[in-house]
């Protein structure tokens, strides 16, 4: 759906007003209760594009415990295994939230699957789920309830090179197809897509491309991709230089901008802020998951540029690492679901109101609103640091980084904010003061949060990575660890009896079992005294 600038402004105002009204309905109670209860919001839309071009039939060594793939030992089977594992992870996440209080019946995400057309005479992209047809819209994407996740898993399990191999790598054309889908336009495939339902007009739109950066892969269909972009912008296509690129992984080869004329990154740039004159289209953010073997740095360069210009950071996964691919898809899905603050916002968005800065160190105090928590919300203090992204030497960007370093860098920290643009911390982020030591308690027993993994939407019971979980890591973890060996480090003082006078020293009036009687306890009641 595309609208005039004025109509788009009204639509944006309506979305904001709806959110404010949702808060106003509960604000009549107490100020601290504004987050109580499970409110509903528009689910985000995500279309996954699978690389089924010729490179997908190349050999790839991997093991797949989640599924008996149709094409073992191939790159396509590797993609299939990783995607199936990610769907299983979403299924488990939903099950945990169904058992939680309050319960939810579906995740705040609607999902679709595309790949390149199998017919050499076809352009654009081809929908697999939902099945492509005229009139298809984002309202037809599958809401992630139990039934639809299982249907998605069933279709992914059926994928095979015999029935699903594409005729060529047409990614720039497929981006046009995805943009047309989200905006009710006609794709290069010839499919005429329908307008977005009004109920989903406030939803965010995303495309993630699982692509094989192997020696046989190269982009195709550049001319049609360029022409389609020029047609919608009304301006001649202009190739934007990608800049220098060196593969961040072994053997660290440098690219030579072989695919600089491919319009994939120009398309992702336009889709992020798609305004043409007075017409405002629905924006679409682009992710790329680059499955690499170190043999194709020029293709890595194109995919890296496409992701960065499309509003996200590229994710590199070594070819054959099925767990890594599953984790990458899961990471993006969680980032996108964080746009729904009720479901996956365990901390308020990072803002200047919660930050303290010294030199390049950033201290953030945070809390996690919780239904039924009343004023007893989880809180913590964490430290991060500033990093400098010099990918474009002419326009370096300052960003918020954590305790882990970027691969191949001796000093630049990994970004910690979600690249979905939500303002929330990334689930895989690691703050300073956050540790994991499996040789000592509590990590030797599975971590302090082992029993809370399901209810706290955690991956495991360890504090590291603390990510977007307020109560994990940071000062909170250090206080807990110090209390394991020396309780004297955490003293609570009170004021009891006749000693409670002006300027009295509280050091002799500890809040402990020795003064329980003064606080209303009965000296002979050991249990009550210790509880106090």
Cis peptide before 482 (omega within 30 of 0): no
Give residue 52's pLDDT.
96
Number of H helices and number of E strands within the chain? Answer: 12, 15
Which ranges of 38-145 does DSSP label H, i.e. alpha helix?
A: 75-99
The whole-angstrom separation of Cα 158 and Cα 161 is 10
Q: Strand (E) positions, 394-482?
A: 397-405, 413-415
Q: Strand (E) positions, 196-260?
A: 205-213
Closest CA to 330 of 457, 230, 211: 457
Cis peptide before 130 (omega within 30 of 0): yes
Coil, strand or helix: which one is 383? Answer: strand
Specify the pairing of strand 378-389 against strand 205-213.
unpaired
Question: Using alpha carbons only, what angle is made at residue 267 by residues 412 and 45, rounded to the nearest 5 degrees?
Answer: 80
Taking the CB of residue 238, how many other CB atoms lie within 10 A of it? 11
For helices 171-183 and 264-272, the axis angle rounded to 10 degrees is: 20
The whole-angstrom separation of Cα 117 and Cα 127 is 9
Asked whether 472 and 453 are in contact (CB, 8 A), the reply is: no
| Phi, psi of 357, deg, nearest 5 | -125, 135
Closest CA to 474 of 371, 391, 314, 362: 362
Greatest Cα pair distance in the chain: 93
Closest CA to 263 of 233, 293, 297: 233
| Residues contacting residue 227 through CB under 8 Å, at least 6 positions apart | 237
Burial class (CB in 10 A: 0-12, 13-18, 19+), 439: exposed
The whole-angstrom separation of Cα 60 and Cα 293 is 10
Low-confidence ranges of the chain (pLDDT < 50): 5-6, 8-10, 12-14, 16-40, 198-200, 340-349, 352, 455, 531-532
The CATH number of 44-339, from 3.40.50.410, 3.30.450.270, 3.30.465.10, 3.40.50.2000, is 3.40.50.410
Provide CATH 3.40.50.410 ranges for the chain: 44-339
Round the CA-based radius of gyration of the chain to a whole number and report it: 26
Structure tokens at 207: 């495309």
The whole-angstrom separation of Cα 83 and Cα 208 is 12
The whole-angstrom separation of Cα 91 and Cα 106 is 10
Which value, to the nearest 10 degrees, does the dihedral of the CA atoms of residues 217, 124, 162, 87 take? Answer: 90
Give residue 20's pLDDT.
35
**Cα 106 to the center of its chain, rounded Å:** 17
The whole-angstrom separation of Cα 344 and Cα 427 is 10
Q: What is the number of residues in the chain?
A: 532
pLDDT in tens, 471-520: 899 999 998 888 777 766 677 777 767 777 888 887 777 776 666 555 55
| Residues contacting residue 392 through CB under 8 Å, at least 6 positions apart | 243
The whole-angstrom separation of Cα 528 and Cα 513 is 10
Q: pTM of the prediction?
A: 0.70
Asked whether 368 and 377 are in contact (CB, 8 A), the reply is: yes
Structure tokens at 409: 């860098």
Question: Hunting for tokens 């960007």 — which residue is that?
Answer: 397
Specify the pairing of strand 2-4 against strand 279-281.
antiparallel
Give residue 201's pLDDT.
57
Closest CA to 41 of 128, 110, 118, 138: 110
The answer for 457, left when phi > 0, alpha when psi is -120 to 50, beta otherwise, is left
The whole-angstrom separation of Cα 49 and Cα 45 is 13
């Amino acid at each position: 759906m595309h609208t005039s600038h004025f109509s788009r402004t009204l639509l944006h105002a309506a979305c904001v007003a709806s959110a404010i009204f949702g808060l106003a309905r509960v604000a009549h109670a107490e100020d601290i209760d504004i987050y109580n209860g499970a409110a509903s919001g528009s689910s985000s839309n995500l279309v996954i594009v699978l690389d089924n071009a010729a490179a997908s039939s190349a050999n790839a060594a991997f093991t797949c415990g989640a599924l008996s793939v149709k094409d073992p030992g191939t790159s396509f089977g590797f993609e299939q295994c990783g995607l199936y594992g990610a769907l299983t992870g979403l299924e488990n996440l939903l099950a945990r939230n169904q058992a939680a209080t309050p319960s939810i019946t579906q995740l705040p995400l609607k999902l679709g699957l595309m790949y390149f057309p199998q017919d050499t005479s076809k352009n654009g992209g081809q929908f697999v789920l939902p099945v492509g047809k005229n009139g298809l819209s984002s309202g037809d994407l599958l809401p992630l309830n139990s039934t639809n996740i299982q249907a998605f898993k069933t279709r992914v399990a059926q994928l095979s090179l015999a029935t699903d191999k594409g005729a060529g790598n047409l990614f720039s054309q497929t981006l046009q197809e995805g943009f047309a889908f989200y905006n009710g336009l006609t794709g290069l495939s010839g499919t005429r897509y329908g307008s977005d339902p009004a109920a989903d007009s406030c939803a965010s739109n995303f495309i993630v491309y699982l692509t094989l950066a192997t020696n046989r892969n190269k982009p195709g269909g550049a001319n049609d991709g360029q022409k389609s972009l020029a047609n919608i912008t009304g301006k001649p296509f202009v190739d934007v230089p990608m800049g220098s690129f060196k593969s961040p992984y072994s053997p660290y080869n440098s690219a030579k901008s072989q695919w600089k004329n491919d319009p994939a990154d120009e398309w992702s740039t336009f889709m992020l802020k798609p305004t043409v004159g007075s017409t405002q289209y629905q924006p679409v953010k682009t992710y790329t998951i680059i499955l690499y073997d170190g043999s194709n740095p020029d293709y890595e360069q194109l995919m890296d540029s496409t992701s960065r210009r499309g509003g996200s950071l590229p994710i590199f996964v070594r070819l054959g690492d099925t767990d890594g691919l599953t984790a990458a898809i899961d990471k993006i899905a969680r980032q996108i679901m964080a746009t729904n603050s009720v479901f996956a916002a365990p901390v308020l968005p990072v803002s200047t109101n919660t930050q303290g800065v010294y030199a390049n160190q950033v201290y953030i105090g945070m809390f996690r609103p919780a239904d039924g928590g009343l004023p007893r919300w989880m809180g913590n203090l964490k430290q991060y640091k500033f990093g400098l992204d010099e990918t474009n030497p002419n326009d370096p960007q300052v960003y918020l980084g954590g305790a882990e370093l970027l691969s191949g860098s001796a000093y630049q920290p990994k970004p910690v904010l979600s690249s979905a643009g939500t303002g929330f911390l990334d689930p895989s982020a690691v703050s300073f003061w956050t540790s994991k030591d499996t040789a000592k308690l509590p990590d030797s027993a599975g971590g302090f949060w082992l029993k809370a993994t399901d209810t706290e939407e955690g991956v495991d019971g360890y504090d590291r990575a603390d990510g977007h979980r307020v109560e994990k890591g940071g000062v909170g973890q250090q206080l807990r660890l110090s209390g394991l060996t020396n309780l004297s480090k955490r003293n609570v003082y009170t004021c009891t009896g006749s000693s409670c006078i002006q300027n009295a020293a509280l050091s002799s009036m500890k809040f402990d079992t020795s003064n329980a009687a003064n606080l209303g306890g009965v000296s002979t009641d050991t249990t009550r005294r210790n509880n106090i």
